[in-house]
Structure 1
Amino acid sequence: MEMEVWLSLWAVGVCGLLLIYFYSVAWLRPESIRNKLRQQGITGPPSSFLYGNSLEMKKLVMAERSRGGRGVEIKHDYTPLVFPYFERWRKHYGPVFSYSMGNVVALHVSHPDLVKEISLCSSLDLGKATYLKKTHEPLFGEGILKSNGVSWSHQRKIIAPEFFSDKVKGMVDLMVDSAVPVLKSWEETVELGGGTAEIKVDEDLRCYSADVISRTCFGSNYIRGKEIFQKLRALQKAVSRPNLFAEITGLRCLPTKRGREVRRLNKEVNSLILKTVKEEGEGRENRTSQHSLLHAILRSANNSLTYTHASDSFIVDNCKNIYFAGHEATAVATTWCLMLLALHPEWQARARAEAAEVCGGRSLDAHALQKMKTLTMVIQETLRLYPPGAFVAREALQEMEFGGIHIPKGVNIYVPVSTLHHDATIWGADVLEFKPERFARGIMGACQLPQTYLPFGAGPRTCLGQNFAMIELKVILSLILLRFSFSLSPNYFHSPSLRLIVEPEFGVKLMVKKA
């Protein structure tokens, strides 16, 4: 009987300690950080226990949707539709304010001077935000997109050289090859439609971008990688909703339906990638294989004596990161670009005439792409109006200071890219108009502070593949322009939506005919 009493007391004690720990993690610690910010005059919306401001954020989004903010009318300033809470809070608290997501304290920064200072910071103490790390772990693992410190620096040294300009220029032929199936499919669809056809372009562009990544970085074609891409897309959708319990407790193994789906997809993706790795290893004598990005990752994983991350995880995580960053964001950017060109036939005609003049009946190459100044401006303006990445997100891994603001360790800094890209004080009164000519003198001539143009991120963590992405965009857009003319379908429904990146919720439908 005495033993039972002791066990009961032990259980009560353990539960009490767990509750105290949970209360400390869920409230006391974030409230202490919020107080430090308040003492510096940085306020924000009041937080609730466990949820922070998450419920209010969700409520405001639902209210905006119920008002019918999306639809036939095309407004390029999608921030009030997708992020209505930021618009409301900026009006109340200014360009720098704090808010909370669960137990994570975030600092919203949209003041241009402060953004510039953050962009120029090269300290490893300013790392990638760890909020949603548990939720997104199946998609990114410890790969380059989410890692910090020495781990990130190590991975960057491996991957960065594979995206140097000279190497990317040598990939143009492979990118052109990847575009052929899309172009043939559209030609057949237009012919079957009697000269004009409605085409929903999104999946075709994802297939193109996926094939480019497979051919140039993995030494394979899209047929081999197709299943990986499909499952990664399904995994992206499954993990796109925050798991608040996982973020607060660090646990994500609850037996929910979504949890089981995530684990199943993750296991299948990992198995498929490792199978491709094995094939790559067996084919190393192949010259193309030896120059693939996967080969560089394999070589590093096998040869590095200082890196402690398990080789298989290191390879799988970085393959996932490159698959996602290398094809998803670029495909979405291409989709937005076609939408804007369809909406502005005068720029479509100018870009087509330039492509025809530069190519002159010759095959597309890096030299020809370099001459396409009009197309470059169109792409840069598209990335300004519709940047795929919604935020530049960083975390203070140690105590830091920016613009006289002392930022406690653990604070997540969120720089809203669309807010800066749509700021009239930076870009001028015509900020919400599609005007590619603003980039005629490059980024430096387009805006007051070039550090506020952030389609590829900021600072040392700027996207390693931005040269790759620009070349890829130019290849597919120039080839489409040379073969087709297009306008927006009457069935197009304008609906920017956040699914890790900002994409058209219902896709983009075009009326396509031969040029």
Structure 2
Amino acid sequence: MAVESLLFSVLLLGLITLVVKLLNWVWFRPKRLEKLLRKQGLHGNPYRFLLGDVRDMMNVTRDEQLRSIRFSDHLLPHILPFYHGVITKHGKNSFFWFGPRPRLNISDPEMLKEILAKPDVFHKTRPDPGETIAGGIAFLEDDEWAKRRKIITPAFHIEKLKNVVPVVWMSCLKMMENWEGKFSVGETNQAEIDVWPCLEELTADVISTTSFGVSSEEGRRVYALQQRQVKLVLDVLQFFFIPGWKFVPSKANTEMKSISREIGFLLRRMIEHREKAMRNGDAIDDDLLNALMESNLREIKDQGNEKRAGLSVEDVIEECKLFYFAGSETTSVLLVYTMVMLGKHQEWQARAREEVFRVLGKQQKPTTDCLSRLKIVTMILQEVLRLYPPAPVTLRTPTRSVKLGNMTVPKGVDLMLLIGEMHHDPMIWGADAGEFKPERFSEGISGAAKTRYSFIPFISGPRVCIGQNFAMITARLSLAMILQRFSVDLSPSYRHAPFPILTLQPQHGATLLLKKL
């Protein structure tokens, strides 16, 4: 009986401890954090048990997602409907509730500078649905991040990126030949084409070739699988704040895991094939995977073949997933909104084409040196990145209570970095902040923005996107080739519906009128 009594007491104590922890998570800690935030003059909705503002967020997001808008409409209420609504209601110094965790809205450049300059203090917020799709260095912290960054950086050296130019040229040529095949023979030299799936295929083709040396069916399959995962994000996001939710066998979670396994299998097979070729001394393409593996071997050698030195095969797989997703998504989003804006603003299309003809001629193959002379094209791309940043929001979490501006942010409060909100702020960009005006960037980024951190489409600070040069080379070259061969206009059937699901995608595609020059 004494043993049974002791066992009962232990179980009862364990149950009481679990209940206390649960109550602290769902009620006492949120209420304590809310009191600390309000005491500093911050505003938001009162905390609601467990769900917080998640239901409101999902309802607003789903209602707004498929709605189209006019070009003259204010963009923020559409692309950031929930966050912009919170700011409109409660002011810039506001917060909302993602489940039992408060998230503080941040769109001030000086605060963003402080946050992004201190990655050791402000970590990536986890769990993050993007980690399931992309993985890799984007979600590592501290020493692990530094180690991975050191190994990966050589793969993105500017000399290595020169190899991207012929790949983009071939892939873009293939896309434009496909467009020309859609023109009616003998009738007109104009065709109505949804360019969005074409640009997605273009960037997937480029990332497959530059990553693995060949534009393979396996590479295309990886991209298609990642796109399916993106479509599942909204289904998993609403429960992501619940610890362990990703292990619940819901339909969305089950499909996400199945896709992840298939992507892992495909990438592992390509990596193992490359390792075998390297061991056999076979000729190997000078691609991103080769650069990554060579850098990894050097790191292992420098560390004396220690057990934890370098990257494992699983690590390389995660980086390849990130190459695919970030490399293709960022560039295709940038290109599609650039084509839309040039269709809308014919005068800038004419100016860009004149520059392309002057620098490249009508058929000349571009080089990296030529691309650096495309000043107007670069101004246009930068203005598109300002208006339509591929990732208009990102999250950070303080590792401890920390001073930020004139606030003290308690541990347990997440920071929602509203890049899209800042890029459209009239206090930073002027009364015409919502208008397409590439001339803002005529003197470069420093001449356009009040501070360096007012324009951060690729983030900034130590964790600036390692692939930004890759994206800009691909975008400049692709746009130049398109302008050499086609004029672009908006189709009457085009519906403007940019909306962020991890990246800012056109929800109804991008149907444009292309005319052969």
Give your verdict on TM over 0.5. yes
Residue 389 of structure 1: CA displacement?
0.6
1:461-480 CA-partner distances (Å, limit 9, x unpaired): 11111111111001111111
Q: 476-485 or 254-263, which moves further after superposition?
A: 254-263
Q: How does 1:114-125 map to 2 (within 5 A)?
A: 114-119=111-116, 121-125=117-121
Tell me what 1:29 maps to: 29
Q: Which of 230, 239, 244 does residue 224 from structure 2 map onto? A: 230
Cα distance in 1 between the residues matched to 2:108 and 2:307: 40
The answer to whether residue 482 in structure 2 is matched with residue 484 in structure 1 is no
* Structure 1 SS opposite 2:228: helix
CA 486–202 in structure 1, closer or farther in 2 if over 3 Å, else same: same
The answer to whether residue 92 in structure 2 is matched with residue 98 in structure 1 is no
Tell me what 1:110 maps to: 107
Tell me what 2:209 maps to: 215
The answer to whether residue 122 in structure 2 is matched with residue 126 in structure 1 is yes
Q: Which of 174, 183, 202 does residue 196 from structure 2 map onto? A: 202
Consecutive unaligned residues of structure 1, counting only runs of 5 or more, are: none
1:87 is matched by which residue type in structure 2? H
Tell me what 2:273 maps to: 279
CA 26–422 in structure 1, closer or farther in 2 if over 3 Å, else same: same
CA 76–477 in structure 1, closer or farther in 2 if over 3 Å, else same: farther
Q: Which of 140, 146, 157 does residue 153 from structure 1 map onto? A: 146
Cα distance in 1 between the residues matched to 2:449 and 2:500: 26
2:293 is matched by which residue type in structure 1? L
Residue 388 of structure 1: CA displacement?
0.8
Residue 38 of structure 1: CA displacement?
2.6
1:142-176 CA-partner distances (Å, limit 9, x unpaired): x1111111111111111222222232234211221
Tell me what 1:510 maps to: 512
* Structure 2 SS opposite 1:252: helix
Q: 292-301 or 352-361, which moves further after superposition?
A: 292-301
Q: How does 1:12-91 map to 2 (within 5 A)?
A: 15-61=15-61, 70-71=68-69, 73-75=70-72, 77-91=74-88
* Structure 1 SS opposite 2:182: helix
* TM-score, length basis structure 1: 0.91
The answer (yes or no) to whether the contact 1:108–1:414 under 8 Å persists in 2 is yes
Tell me what 1:258 maps to: 252
The answer to whether residue 290 in structure 2 is matched with residue 295 in structure 1 is yes
The answer (yes or no) to whether the contact 1:25–1:248 under 8 Å persists in 2 is no
Tell me what 2:166 maps to: 173
Cα distance in 1 between the residues matched to 2:4 and 2:10: 10
Tell me what 2:498 maps to: 496
Residue 337 of structure 1: CA displacement?
0.6
Residue 13 of structure 1: CA displacement?
6.0
CA 492–6 in structure 1, closer or farther in 2 if over 3 Å, else same: farther
1:128 is matched by which residue type in structure 2? K
Cα distance in 2 between the residues matched to 1:275 and 1:377: 41
Q: 81-90 or 267-276, which moves further after superposition?
A: 81-90
Q: 459-468 or 30-39, which moves further after superposition?
A: 30-39
The answer (yes or no) to whether the contact 1:76–1:385 under 8 Å persists in 2 is no
The answer (yes or no) to whether the contact 1:77–1:385 under 8 Å persists in 2 is no
The answer (yes or no) to whether the contact 2:378–2:476 under 8 Å persists in 1 is yes
Consecutive unaligned residues of structure 2, counting only runs of 5 or more, are: none
How many residues are matched? 507
Q: 17-26 or 231-240, which moves further after superposition?
A: 17-26
* Structure 2 SS opposite 1:393: strand
* Structure 1 SS opposite 2:181: helix
The answer (yes or no) to whether the contact 2:86–2:95 under 8 Å persists in 1 is no
Q: 377-386 or 255-264, which moves further after superposition?
A: 255-264
2:122 is matched by which residue type in structure 1? L
CA 16–140 in structure 1, closer or farther in 2 if over 3 Å, else same: farther
The answer (yes or no) to whether the contact 1:34–1:105 under 8 Å persists in 2 is yes
Two-structure CA RMSD over aligned residues (Å): 2.6
Cα distance in 1 between the residues matched to 2:276 and 2:121: 40
CA 2–401 in structure 1, closer or farther in 2 if over 3 Å, else same: closer
The answer to whether residue 315 in structure 2 is matched with residue 321 in structure 1 is no
The answer (yes or no) to whether the contact 1:329–1:388 under 8 Å persists in 2 is yes
* Structure 2 SS opposite 1:107: strand
CA 226–495 in structure 1, closer or farther in 2 if over 3 Å, else same: same
Q: 501-510 or 97-106, which moves further after superposition?
A: 97-106
The answer (yes or no) to whether the contact 1:34–1:98 under 8 Å persists in 2 is no
CA 242–38 in structure 1, closer or farther in 2 if over 3 Å, else same: farther
CA 288–90 in structure 1, closer or farther in 2 if over 3 Å, else same: same
The answer (yes or no) to whether the contact 1:106–1:414 under 8 Å persists in 2 is yes
1:179 is matched by which residue type in structure 2? C
Tell me what 2:178 maps to: 185
Residue 269 of structure 1: CA displacement?
0.6
1:273-302 CA-partner distances (Å, limit 9, x unpaired): 00110111122235543x432234435666
Give the fraction of aligned pairs with identical amino acids, expressed as a percent. 32
Cα distance in 2 between the residues matched to 1:295 and 1:307: 21
Tell me what 1:397 maps to: 399
Cα distance in 2 between the residues matched to 1:269 and 1:431: 41
Cα distance in 2 between the residues matched to 1:47 and 1:32: 10
Cα distance in 2 between the residues matched to 1:492 and 1:97: 36
The answer (yes or no) to whether the contact 2:110–2:453 under 8 Å persists in 1 is no
The answer to whether residue 347 in structure 2 is matched with residue 346 in structure 1 is yes
1:254-287 CA-partner distances (Å, limit 9, x unpaired): 2222122111111111000001101111222355
Tell me what 2:464 maps to: 462
* Structure 2 SS opposite 1:106: strand
Cα distance in 1 between the residues matched to 2:291 and 2:269: 17
2:53 is matched by which residue type in structure 1? N
CA 15–490 in structure 1, closer or farther in 2 if over 3 Å, else same: farther
CA 76–286 in structure 1, closer or farther in 2 if over 3 Å, else same: farther
2:34 is matched by which residue type in structure 1? R
CA 287–100 in structure 1, closer or farther in 2 if over 3 Å, else same: farther
Cα distance in 1 between the residues matched to 2:184 and 2:63: 44
The answer (yes or no) to whether the contact 1:217–1:294 under 8 Å persists in 2 is yes
The answer (yes or no) to whether the contact 2:98–2:241 under 8 Å persists in 1 is no
1:262 is matched by which residue type in structure 2? M
Cα distance in 1 between the residues matched to 2:80 and 2:364: 46
1:214-238 CA-partner distances (Å, limit 9, x unpaired): 2223222243411111111112222
* Structure 2 SS opposite 1:144: helix
1:373-417 CA-partner distances (Å, limit 9, x unpaired): 110011001111111111142221233222132222243212211
Cα distance in 2 between the residues matched to 1:165 and 1:297: 14
1:46 is matched by which residue type in structure 2? P
